[in-house]
Structure 1
């Protein structure tokens, strides 16, 4: 199986504090971690860690942080030949404060709102890569996060048989536009509420309304991740919620990225949707009991062992 991740890659710096910082104040960080990050980039790293055939596509600048991002990818086997280094690009940076009291995180990001347009030379290189994929790779999954709209559409339209998963984290015009190509539109609660113009999900009826609206812009199925409440989708036109697994939250940063990476993993192996969601939920739950994102990612054997431990509770999903 081959998975392409097309989207945002940045360099993260984590500051772990005992409380949320107040404006115009100084705060001591009792721990610090730095690594590559970004929705699709973290998913790619996870899939590389799990030994999958994964390529990451996106824009970076040829600077110290851009090269650190590429180096980390290559350490776990993520193929980086299709990353576009552009002088017009700024390598995104993120400062992340993690509150020890509840594991919540606050993120400040420096990035371009829109990546540079593809050049003719870059399109020609992409065409060669796409031709190689079409001739040599039978089963393809594409994971997008909406941060690279032109690049995502260009590749998807030239690989029509690929299964497309979208990590719709926040409501952006690019995500709504790209949704038309998705087989699995996996939206955050914030995205779903904003798009459906609902204040909060108070019942299955409100979830049903939002899911129907999301499915109307997708060519496939829609899903809403609800954090600790689980993941909702429509099954035979009725709302079904696969519950999350209980865990002790230490750092929630990247939980959604890991969920989407694991979700794409399940799609690539043709699993039933209940199993895909439960597997993705468990992968994320293991990670948020640890600090950071990359260092917190579970290896595949950990997830499989955890699945075995939870087998009695998850029998209906893992038959």
Structure 2
């Protein structure tokens, strides 16, 4: 079996990165023993009577689908990094369908997302395939979603980018935290984008993730990126 491996090349000038991955195209199927473990986990979570929030990314589609069906009351957040059949299928059980600019572009067969009209059209179509709401992360250009049918693009935060590796994972983790504690969506996006901005000012991924107190104390230390990136 191929051992998954990812190599990351970081541009020292811009903080951008290129990831080279080697992995199995189709993950192994769940075994009977693994299903029993998932059943036990689901039973314990249900018995706790505590809210459950699940973050998925489509890479382990069978596990995600199996666990979501066992926990029908769980809120589900998806990190839709790239367009894959597994992500499209799992979207049907997703409450917060948070996809990348590349995902939205490829789903709509656009060359790029360059206008507000294109972003709105993409969100309308993405909303049709999930059970909740769709969001498009746009990197330094912000995060887009529809509020009462109107396009909202929440600005990102200005920061000194050193290493953007893992910024998306940090954003989605922070987003899921906000969902779990039932924050207002505006506060969830503000918190998620600030957490990601803080993280990319340091090298690495785990080492760069700020804790909750750091994020709260940094709120007045960063300015919003108010650059107009998209044509109306």
TM-score by length of 2: 0.93
Aligned match of 2:16: 104
Q: Residues 105 and 235 from structure 1, CA distance in 2 versus in 1: closer, same or farther, beyond 3 angstroms?
A: same
Aligned match of 2:129: 217
Taking the TM superposition and a 5 Å limit, the aligned residue runs for 1:182-261 are 182-261=94-173
Given the alignment of the two structures, is residue 130 of structure 1 paired with residue 42 of structure 2, yes or no?
Answer: yes
Given the alignment of the two structures, is residue 270 of structure 1 paired with residue 195 of structure 2, yes or no?
Answer: no
Question: Which of 143, 151, 154 is residue 66 of structure 2 equivalent to?
Answer: 154
1:310 Cα offset (Å): 5.3
Deviates more, 1:240-249 or 1:92-101: 92-101
Instruction: Give the distance between the partners of 1:211 and 1:161, measured in 2 at CA.
Output: 25
Deviates more, 1:122-131 or 1:173-182: 122-131
Q: Is the Cα–Cα contact under 8 Å of residues 114 and 148 in structure 1 kept in the other structure?
A: no
Given the alignment of the two structures, is residue 93 of structure 1 paired with residue 5 of structure 2, yes or no?
Answer: yes
Runs of 4 or more consecutive aligned structure 1 residues displaced over 3 Å after TM superposition:
308-313
| Alignment root-mean-square deviation, CA | 1.6
Aligned match of 2:230: none
Give 5+ residue unaligned stretches, structure 2: 226-232
Which has a greater percent of helix? 2
Given the alignment of the two structures, is residue 294 of structure 1 paired with residue 206 of structure 2, yes or no?
Answer: yes
Question: Which of 78, 86, 90 is residue 174 of structure 1 equivalent to?
Answer: 86
- Tell me the alpha carbon deviations over residues 228-273 of structure 1, each in whole angstroms, 9 at most, x when there is no partner: 0100000010100110001111111100000000000000110000
Aligned match of 2:25: 113
Give 5+ residue unaligned stretches, structure 1: 1-88, 314-319
TM-score by length of 1: 0.68
Deviates more, 1:250-259 or 1:106-115: 106-115
Taking the TM superposition and a 5 Å limit, the aligned residue runs for 1:28-107 are 90-107=2-19
Instruction: Give the distance between the partners of 2:192 and 2:7, measured in 1 at CA.
Output: 26
- Equivalenced residue count is 225
Q: Is the Cα–Cα contact under 8 Å of residues 158 and 223 in structure 2 kept in the other structure?
A: no
1:104 Cα offset (Å): 1.3
Aligned match of 1:281: 193
Instruction: Give the distance between the partners of 1:290 and 1:312, measured in 2 at CA.
Output: 19
1:99 Cα offset (Å): 1.1
Higher Cα Rg, which structure: 1
